[in-house]
Structure 1
């Protein structure tokens, strides 16, 4: 298998989490930048990372990177890349683009030039003048940043947050990739209690159960590169069979999710069933003010309302004050809260142990981390004596 340069893209703020996941999979040779981690691997790495990465947005095959100050330079350097090694003569190869702080700022022009350059390269190699583009899709992207052009082919297709279990969508859903990042940043483990009092359609509890049972997040979906002739079906079969064998079904989990909306609770149960973890999560309709636990130690991880819409700020500020009072009863727990509200700590009444800037879609948020004491080993799974 050949050595490839690959890129795992991510939301801003969770690149280090993606890097940690890659190292866990065995990909140590990596370079972290804003919103992406570049790493080395082979054809199997394409299959393995698409299947296993919980926090990355997609996996790109890096074809080349160079400075491009003129359209001629973009054309010639793009044409010099080995497109024929990946793109067959019947391929559909659309080109997308983006440009930030670059002399070549017209994205449509950059896309057209890259498309023409790839066509000219393939004409030379395949000795044909017309490409019908009726075969498998190889989506090319030209990304220009400060006059540096990066040319990639997307191996994922639909974003990796689309696990396949969330068929229905509640209002303003939290992406699965961000929910997983929140869990992995918290260092929550399967032997600890977990409560999400604002669970909505269930994303955080479901992602927690998938992590706890070691279920690969991409196990129930397909990827665009599965249709490529470059990667043998035996590779995909191998990584899927390995992932299936690594599932842990005998763990007793204490994960619960609650919300005040009956409709989203119904969605949460449906999604958990689709994900195969309906028996591992306890969902109930419950106001955040009424949450309780018989366990002395545990985690609260949540994404409460932000008050972004007009007229909601007063209600949300009242909610945050209430959360501060309610969470005091969990004084030996750790809690992790994602919100965009700039005065959250003041309203909550406690300063966070640490906070981390994350983006929920286009909304800049802080992930507030409040560390509780580590439980003695003998009390880790024990309920409080009544």
Structure 2
């Protein structure tokens, strides 16, 4: 088994959550802005793709260096061992980005990296003609940040938020990776009831159920690196066997998703069935002000409307007030609400125990955390 420099990319604000997941898989890691770096073998590539709930992608770092000129970018890219990763028939498009760097033209950087990789592979494969690129897919990225060039190959394919269970969604769906992070940032465990009174297409309850039964988020999809000839099929078989062995399908769960929109409730139920969790999660049409429970010590996690559109603002603010009234008596429940509305605490009627800044796509939001009373300890 070889050792690779791996990068799990992360949305802003979720780096610590992704790092915790990487460490839980058994890999030491370093946390940087938007990425978690660690080392691992071929099995680590497979396991990271299958298990990381909150990362955006898994990438292999091929090289990193300072680059102030196009010549420097070309020569240092060409010096990297691309033939160890890309076979002679491999398809290798190049994407790029540049932040605060002298080489600011992304299209020029992409073209130069492509040319340098071609030159390297021509020499190594003694190929004097153009590469047909009809084989496995290796997407290269050139990322320039303050004149440091990082060259990676994407090992995921579709982003890791694409779990494969969404049959349909609403207007502003929450990414599965963020939904999983919201659950992991709570004090919930599978023995407690869990509710989302603004469930939309069901993403938060579904992610909670996957976490509750320790089902790997990538169990139901494929990854681009499964087609790479240097990762044996036996590695993927071993990783998927581990996924099956560690899943706890017998874990009972009390998870409820509700929404005022009956169409969304129907979509949520379909998505849950697609994820194989249809029997586990209860979905129902309900207004938030009608929320009641007989259970103690539960957890509510929700992503309600923000009132971003002017016409919606008053209705949303009224709904926040009603939410505060409905949840006011739930002093043993912990409540976590994600919204961009800056006056949420005043409208809800209580100051949060803690706030955490997160980004829902490009929208800056806060996760308002209201911690419930701890259950009494059982005296021996």
- TM interval, shorter chain, is over 0.9
Q: Which residue of 1 aligns with 2:27?
A: 27
Equivalent residue runs for 1:299-314 within 5 Å: 299-314=299-314
Q: Which residue of 1 aligns with 2:49?
A: 50
Q: Which residue of 1 aligns with 2:98?
A: 99
Query: Is 2:22 the counterpart of 1:11?
Result: no
Any idea what the Cα deviations from partners look like across 1:100-124, whole Å, max 9, x if unmatched? 1111111000000000010010011
Query: Is 2:174 the counterpart of 1:159?
Result: no
Deviation at 1:83, TM superposition (A): 0.5
Any idea what the Cα deviations from partners look like across 1:176-200, whole Å, max 9, x if unmatched? 1000000001131101111100000
Equivalent residue runs for 1:169-188 within 5 Å: 169-188=169-188
The answer to whether the 8 A contact 2:5-2:60 is kept is: yes
- 1:329 aligned counterpart, secondary structure: coil
Distance 2:286 2:377 in 1: 31
Any idea what the Cα deviations from partners look like across 1:333-383, whole Å, max 9, x if unmatched? 1100100111111211111111111111111111111111111356xxxxx
Q: Which residue of 2 aligns with 1:247?
A: 247
RMSD: 1.1
TM-score scaled by length of structure 1:
0.96
Deviation at 1:91, TM superposition (A): 0.3
Equivalent residue runs for 1:233-312 within 5 Å: 233-312=233-312
Distance 1:169 1:295 in 2: 30
TM-score scaled by length of structure 2:
0.98
Q: Which residue of 2 aligns with 1:382?
A: none
Any idea what the Cα deviations from partners look like across 1:126-153, whole Å, max 9, x if unmatched? 0002200000000000001111110000
Distance 1:133 1:249 in 2: 42
| Gaps in structure 1 of 5+ consecutive residues | 379-386
Distance 2:246 2:65 in 1: 41
- 2:242 aligned counterpart, secondary structure: helix
Equivalent residue runs for 1:188-207 within 5 Å: 188-207=188-207
Query: Is 2:376 the counterpart of 1:376?
Result: yes
Q: Which residue of 1 aligns with 2:69?
A: 70
More displaced, 85-94 or 238-247? 238-247
- 1:103 aligned counterpart, secondary structure: coil
Distance 2:162 2:211 in 1: 16
Deviation at 1:310, TM superposition (A): 2.5
Deviation at 1:331, TM superposition (A): 1.5
| Gaps in structure 2 of 5+ consecutive residues | none
Query: Is 2:355 the counterpart of 1:355?
Result: yes
Q: Which runs of 4+ in 1 moved over 2 A?
A: none
More displaced, 162-171 or 94-103? 162-171
Q: Which residue of 2 aligns with 1:121?
A: 120
More displaced, 316-325 or 92-101? 316-325
- 2:346 aligned counterpart, secondary structure: helix
- 2:308 aligned counterpart, secondary structure: coil
Q: Which residue of 2 aligns with 1:40?
A: 39
Distance 1:81 1:354 in 2: 46
Distance 1:325 1:190 in 2: 27
Deviation at 1:227, TM superposition (A): 0.4
- 1:330 aligned counterpart, secondary structure: coil
- 1:186 aligned counterpart, secondary structure: coil
Any idea what the Cα deviations from partners look like across 1:206-251, whole Å, max 9, x if unmatched? 0000011111100110000000001000000111011111111222
Q: Which residue of 1 aligns with 2:332?
A: 332
The answer to whether the 8 A contact 2:167-2:267 is kept is: no
Q: Which residue of 1 aligns with 2:214?
A: 214
Distance 1:205 1:173 in 2: 13
